[in-house]
Amino acid sequence: MLPLERYRMLDLSRLLPGPAASHILADMGMDVIKVEELNPRYGMGRDVLTPPNPTPETEVKWAAYNGLARNKRSIALDLLDPDKRPECQEVFYRLAEQADVILEGYRPGAVNWMGVDYESVSARNPRIIYCSISGYGQKGPYVKLPGHDPQYCSVAGSLPMGEGGPSGHGLPIADYSSGMYAAIGILTALLEREQSGQGQYIDVPMMGSIMSFLHGPWGRYFRDGELPQEALPSVPQGVAYLRCGDGKYLSTSNAETTFWANFCQAIGRERYTGKKGVTGDEAKAVVEDIQRIFLTKTRDEWLRILWDADSCAAPVNDIPDTLKDPQVREIGMVWETEHPTEGKIQQVGHPVLFSRTPATLRTLAPVLGAHTRDVLRHAGFSDGEIAGLEERGIVKSWSDA
């Protein structure tokens, strides 16, 4: 039995923050039911690995590689059509009566006019844990503003600032951080419910999530009142990424004096041991000399030398390199399975390694409405009722797509 097998979630979220949160919980066994629109909206897929307007063949192919939606189920329910909404709401409420968690990522207020907000749902199921992920939270002057990861990182003061202005993080860090906090919040609320017997509402602002990842600069500002400055070239930060003789790169970050001394000795530059903290032109000259040294051997040769010297170093992998990396393979971060039409497929594995109840690839990502009938039957709908809902366009099943 998986750790979260006893719990069920209705997942109304889209794109990345919410799907990332439910992905964590689904891998750990939670029964995550994606409640999805019947038709594409706004030119976007249902998550970042679903095409906006797929053919049936494309839907099947993309689902095979959609690790974000694996181990989940899908019901297609049209909560967005105002003419169908009352009947759709009633279907949703019946599903919510058997659920433990609801997750949504709409702009604040959207679930209210959809009629599936916390107050409406908790009236039917007081034990429900209801989690909302939004850009700025559920209150304040920005709540109605549209946005994505760059906007939330901008307000959070997290963007690196250089001479050319702000630059991005390279990853949608507000999306992923809020997904992680949502998963943690849901688990915490489920634990608390074991004691109180009551559900509750969870508000996860993406802006706040990214701010909480910046305790270093915020702590220094609160303590000293100093703003982060653009850093001068320094050692060893200046030798973080080094090009080797075969054109490949390695990374090194010897912040501790011991590791820095080991590094200097390994490359034959013991005289640099005392220059760990220098900056400016002196640091630039040291970095340029070290870079010339690393062009004399291949990356693998240098890695063996640095590892033998107990110095911090690692290969800079691209995706194909990462898939072949022995450490990646050893901890099981690449999952493989056979697909009926795609053959052998691979997905990124789960990073939390349980000794007794490991996360597994139980099912591939669902196509739209793959489980509509099963979910409705479990909620007490008869086959005749389900057929009527399908005929009226309230729900959609994949077999009829």
Same domain, 58 and 156: yes
pLDDT mean over 5-23: 97
CATH number at residue 267: 3.30.1540.10
**pLDDT, tens digit, for every residue of 24-78?**
999 999 999 999 998 877 778 889 999 888 899 999 999 999 999 999 999 999 9
pLDDT at 263 over 50: yes
Of the three residues 321, 345, 371, the one that is the final residue of a domain is 321
Same domain, 160 and 250: no
Nearest residue to 99 via CA among 130, 65, 62, 136: 130
pLDDT mean over 8-31: 97
Same domain, 140 and 48: yes
pLDDT at 401 over 70: no
Nearest residue to 305 via CA among 233, 229, 250: 250
The residue segments making up the domain with residue 96 are 8-213+332-400
pLDDT mean over 240-268: 95
Distance, in Å, from the CA atom of 54 to the CA atom of 224, rounded to the nearest integer, reads 54
Residue found under tokens 């609801």: 102
44 domain residue, yes or no: yes
230 domain residue, yes or no: no
366 domain residue, yes or no: yes
393 domain residue, yes or no: yes
Distance, in Å, from the CA atom of 327 to the CA atom of 310, rounded to the nearest integer, reads 18
The string of DSSP codes covering 185-217 is HHHHHHHHHHHH---EEEEEEHHHHHHTT-HHH
pLDDT at 241 over 50: yes
Same domain, 338 and 202: yes
Q: Which two tokens stand for residue 204?
A: 């996860």
Give the lowest-confidence range in 6-10, 166-170, 228-232, 268-272. Answer: 228-232
Same domain, 178 and 314: no
82 domain residue, yes or no: yes
Same domain, 269 and 357: no
pLDDT band of residue 90 (cuts 50, 70, 90) is very high
pLDDT band of residue 255 (cuts 50, 70, 90) is confident
98 domain residue, yes or no: yes
Of the three residues 268, 302, 321, the one that is the final residue of a domain is 321
Taking all residues of the chain, what is their mean pLDDT, rounded to a whole number?
A: 93
- On whether the CB atoms of residues 50 and 369 are closer than 8 A, the answer is no
Same domain, 347 and 316: no
pLDDT of residue 154: 92
**pLDDT, tens digit, for every residue of 186-239?**
999 999 999 999 999 999 999 999 999 888 888 888 898 887 666 677 898 889
Strands in 395-396's sheet, in edge-to-edge order, are: 200-205, 129-134, 101-104, 8-11, 31-36, 72-77, 395-396
Same domain, 249 and 296: yes
Same domain, 292 and 369: no
Question: How many independent structural domains does the chain possess?
Answer: 2
CATH number at residue 100: 3.40.50.10540
H or E element in which residue 387 lies? helix 383-391
**pLDDT, tens digit, for every residue of 330-373?**
999 999 999 999 999 999 999 999 999 999 999 999 999 999 99
169 domain residue, yes or no: yes
Same domain, 106 and 205: yes
Same domain, 208 and 95: yes
pLDDT mean over 168-191: 95
Distance, in Å, from the CA atom of 154 to the CA atom of 133, rounded to the nearest integer, reads 18
